Amino acid sequence: MDISQKFKVMEASSVRKLSIYADEARRGGKTVYHLNIGQPDLDTPEPYFQKIKNFNEPSTEYMPSLGIPTLTNSIQSYYAKLGIHYNTEQIAVTCGGTEALLFTFLAIANEGDEILLPEPFYSNYTTFFTISGAICIPVTTWAENGFHFTEQDLVSKITKRAKAILISTPGNPTGAVLSMDEIKMVARIAKEHDLYIIADEVYREFVFDGREITSFGFLPEIEDRLIIIDSVSKRFNACGARIGALLTKNKDLFSVITKLCQGRLSCSTIEQHGAVGLYAADEGYVINARDQYQKRRDIVYELLKQVPGVVCRKPEGAFYMIAKLPIDDVDDFLTWLLTSFEIDGETVMAAPAEGFYKTIGLGKNELRIAYVLEEEPLIKAMRILTEGLKEYMELNNIRLV
């Protein structure tokens, strides 16, 4: 028996490979700090658990495919408060932002259609390309300019087969936040070339240094080509709730999304009730989370920028940072940290950045740090990382030029 051709080419992620070494280190009695995963350590707002505790139906039934009305209403009012106006017939509740992305890819792309996206990008997007048959066209961005792209970078990648532009802002894995001018630039290009815009804004509120929230939703001139991807996972630290949303004013597209939602019947009933609690949580919650991330960002950035040879810019949002190290093989360095390096019985795991690139050869000398630990463990983890880097460079005779 054979498996699907589509999936034969998919490689196991290098993060998973490193996880095996992390497990071994742990079995050997070491503490491993995780800077590799985007799972924050802040508590989920209490109203979420209250709603679930108060669920008092005799059975858990299928709910409407597009979501329970109380949740769709909550999402609508959340957006209205931001000044982004959708009605409830333009909102689909999905099983995480992940499903919203998958359904978007399936709904817009024919086999061979091209979707452009800044690189490095969220590595799960690769799965959606594989499933949908769309072609990933990376618009490469660089650590040296904070992973922003120019109009020319984007336009030069547009061909006749281009179908959509996919943007994660605030960005995972780069922490780059598009300014409203950049958003307007992308919008103009999308209009000129008749492309969809898939706006993955799951980190929307996590913008630092007093920045205003930016969103493709602020531009009425692209509303017929815009798909907004959202999720409670990051905003409310509720990754396990598996509740997301897709918003679009494009009627044809929404009717396809509706069919896809009907095909999987319903999202989790109880979790949808929980999510209503999330949207009703005190607004201070998200602001506090943002401030925590900003503090942690400062810790990571201040420590890294002192290391000779490291290239990084201060992330503007989300809770990630990509840094370029003065070594050729970051994968090897990160493996070595787990297998052969420790300070007081502790070591650290970060994500090699290669998996965030489509272009072969890029990212080999970079890593992604998710600053999702509290300050004290974060400082320890960063110390292990930077001391480890020094020792690794000495051992391998790597000198800065």
Could you list the residues that contact ligand PLP (CB under 6 A)? 38, 96-98, 122, 168, 172, 200, 202, 231, 233-234, 239, 244
State the minimum distance, in angstroms, from the CB of residue 86 to ligand PLP.
18
Identity of the residue, 175 or 244, whose beta carbon is nearer to ligand PLP in the bound complex = 244
Identity of the residue, 14 or 237, whose beta carbon is nearer to ligand PLP in the bound complex = 237
- CA–CA distance, 144 with 242 (Å, rounded to integer): 35
State the minimum distance, in angstroms, from the CB of residue 24 to ligand PLP.
27
State the minimum distance, in angstroms, from the CB of residue 204 to ligand PLP.
11
Query: From residue 191, how far is each of 139, 154, 164, 196, 197 by CA, in Å?
Result: 18, 13, 11, 8, 9
Identity of the residue, 171 or 388, whose beta carbon is nearer to ligand PLP in the bound complex = 171
State the minimum distance, in angstroms, from the CB of residue 393 to ligand PLP.
31
State the minimum distance, in angstroms, from the CB of residue 234 to ligand PLP.
6
- CA–CA distance, 310 with 400 (Å, rounded to integer): 10
Q: Of all residues in this chain, which one has the CB nearest to ligand PLP in the complex?
A: 96
- CA–CA distance, 302 with 305 (Å, rounded to integer): 6
Identity of the residue, 66 or 393, whose beta carbon is nearer to ligand PLP in the bound complex = 66
- CA–CA distance, 161 with 143 (Å, rounded to integer): 29
Identity of the residue, 234 or 313, whose beta carbon is nearer to ligand PLP in the bound complex = 234
Identity of the residue, 277 or 388, whose beta carbon is nearer to ligand PLP in the bound complex = 277
Helices (H), 115-223: 125-132, 151-155, 180-192
Structural contact between residues 320 and 143, judged by C-beta atoms closer than 8 angstroms: no
Helices (H), 30-95: 46-53, 69-82
State the minimum distance, in angstroms, from the CB of residue 347 to ligand PLP.
25
Q: b/e for 56-90, b at 16 or more Cβ within 10 A?
A: eeeeeeebbbbbbeebbebbbebbeeeebebeeeb
Q: Which amino acid is at 153?
A: D
**Distinct helix (H) and strand (E) counts, the chain:** 13, 12
- CA–CA distance, 193 with 177 (Å, rounded to integer): 23
State the minimum distance, in angstroms, from the CB of residue 238 to ligand PLP.
9
State the minimum distance, in angstroms, from the CB of residue 162 to ligand PLP.
21
Identity of the residue, 232 or 338, whose beta carbon is nearer to ligand PLP in the bound complex = 232
- CA–CA distance, 325 with 212 (Å, rounded to integer): 31
Structural contact between residues 55 and 270, judged by C-beta atoms closer than 8 angstroms: yes
Identity of the residue, 168 or 215, whose beta carbon is nearer to ligand PLP in the bound complex = 168
